[in-house]
């Protein structure tokens, strides 16, 4: 993490941020098809043309004038941002530098022909955790031919430390965007669930509810790999297609990291399932629960171990033990006495 190390002035600090916060590690073993992902209990712009509005087509034009302001600009707040954002988040300090972001789904559209990587911040936080910075940079660094999208529900991004500007300048394949949820959900099976707004009420997890809905819609619309931002990517993943991780022990499909092409039946089935079975305050149901139910449906079996590593309705279930460098229940073991060597060996 070159930029993060420079910013934090100490490699040790980065390690603390990345792993004490139980960041996830995603990698592919060299010369094998195995992917290694450590999943927490919560579970790019080269020369590709995008369908974008004229307002944003010329990325260089007036970039400083239009994108960065030294005082708090007037913010147009959407109804769903009022549900997600804390009041103090919307009262940004005028001495901070803010970024107005192009809106995914409105100002800028990913191409289904690209290998897209979607990383999301749905808690309406204008100051993302450094853990998220690590995740974003790791995916952009390890997958230079992919288009990496870091999308946020916050109306602005606080760029007072210049970190996001530096990241976008360092990685041409990275784009930080806002998210026009109304536009993105429009016309999808999840539209009514979203527009009803029940996902935000009588629940401790409104951001998680939106995340579980949004990841399926993004992959269905534009295709790509979705990952939680507690994942640190350490190997190129662009050869992985139409897959989802699967825990053989618990027999649960995990939607924390998955890839599907645009218009794939699996993500459509997921949206249809959530349209009928969405639960606002029941943990797991909208994420791994939904993914497990659809995998059983499309594969025609109640025992998913039977189809592990086999194509089933153009979907591959990849064993979690192959994708997981460090299982989340074991993360604290590596910070005990005499455990550091094993952690270092596993990270190589």
pLDDT mean by block of 10 residues, the chain; 348 residues: 48 34 46 36 31 36 43 71 83 64 95 98 92 95 98 89 92 96 98 97 96 98 95 91 91 93 98 97 94 96 87 88 72 73 58
* Res 1: pLDDT: 56
Q: Is residue 329 part of a domain?
A: no
Q: Nearest 5°: CA angle at 254, between 297 and 140? A: 125
The total number of structural domains that make up the chain: 1
For residue 231, give both structure tokens.
């994942």
* Res 345: pLDDT: 62
* Res 11: pLDDT: 32
Q: Is residue 173 part of a domain?
A: yes
Q: Is residue 262 part of a domain?
A: yes
* Res 61: pLDDT: 41
- Per the structure, the complete domain to which residue 281 belongs is given by 90-240+256-291
* Res 15: pLDDT: 31
* Res 70: pLDDT: 46
pTM, rounded to two decimals: 0.78
Q: Is residue 45 part of a domain?
A: no
* Res 268: pLDDT: 98
Question: How buried is residue 121: exposed, middle or buried, by Cβ count under 10 Å (0-12/13-18/19+)?
Answer: buried
Residue 295 and residue 253 in contact, taking contact as beta carbons nearer than 8 Å: yes
Residue 114 and residue 144 in contact, taking contact as beta carbons nearer than 8 Å: no
Q: Is residue 311 part of a domain?
A: no
Strands (E), 153-248: 156-158, 174-179, 224-227, 231-233, 243-247
Residue 36 and residue 325 in contact, taking contact as beta carbons nearer than 8 Å: yes
Name which of 119, 118, 135, 124 is nearest 157 in CA terms: 124
Q: Is residue 115 part of a domain?
A: yes
Question: What's 212's domain CATH number?
Answer: 3.90.550.20
Q: DSSP for 244-294?
A: EEEETTTTEEEEEEEEE-TT-HHHHHHHHHHHHH--SS-TTIIIIIHHHHH
Q: Is residue 277 part of a domain?
A: yes
Q: Is residue 265 part of a domain?
A: yes
* Res 321: pLDDT: 74
Site of tokens 């990587």: 117
């Amino acid at each position: 993490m070159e930029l993060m190390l420079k910013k934090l002035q100490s490699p040790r600090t980065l390690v603390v941020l990345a792993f004490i916060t139980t960041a996830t590690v995603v990698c592919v073993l060299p010369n094998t098809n195995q992917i290694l992902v450590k999943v927490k209990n919560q579970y790019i712009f080269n020369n590709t043309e995008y369908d974008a509005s004229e307002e944003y087509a010329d990325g260089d034009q007036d970039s400083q004038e239009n994108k960065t302001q030294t005082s708090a600009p007037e913010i147009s707040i959407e109804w769903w941002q009022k549900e997600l954002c804390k009041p103090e988040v919307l009262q940004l300090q005028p001495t901070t530098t803010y970024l107005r972001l192009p809106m995914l789904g409105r100002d800028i559209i990913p191409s289904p022909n690209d290998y897209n990587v979607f990383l999301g911040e749905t808690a309406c936080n204008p100051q993302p955790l450094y853990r998220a910075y690590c995740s974003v940079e790791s995916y952009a660094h390890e997958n230079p031919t992919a288009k990496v999208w870091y999308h946020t529900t916050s109306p602005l991004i606080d760029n007072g430390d210049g970190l996001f500007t530096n990241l976008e300048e360092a990685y041409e394949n990275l784009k930080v965007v806002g998210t026009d949820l109304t536009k993105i959900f429009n016309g999808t099976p999840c539209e009514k669930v979203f527009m009803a707004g029940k996902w935000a009420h009588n629940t401790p997890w409104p951001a998680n509810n939106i995340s579980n809905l949004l990841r399926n819609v993004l992959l269905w619309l534009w295709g790509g790999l979705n990952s939680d931002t507690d994942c640190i990517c350490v190997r190129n993943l662009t050869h992985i297609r139409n897959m989802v991780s699967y825990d053989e022990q618990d027999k649960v499909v995990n939607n924390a990291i998955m890839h599907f092409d645009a218009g794939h039946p699996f993500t459509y089935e997921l949206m249809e399932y959530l349209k009928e079975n969405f639960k606002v305050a029941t943990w797991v149901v909208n994420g791994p629960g939904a993914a497990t139910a659809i995998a059983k449906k499309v594969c025609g079996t109640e025992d998913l171990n039977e189809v592990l590593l086999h194509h089933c309705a153009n979907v591959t279930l990849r064993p979690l033990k192959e994708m997981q460098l460090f299982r989340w229940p074991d993360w604290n073991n590596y910070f005990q006495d005499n455990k550091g060597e094993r952690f270092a060996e596993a990270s190589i």
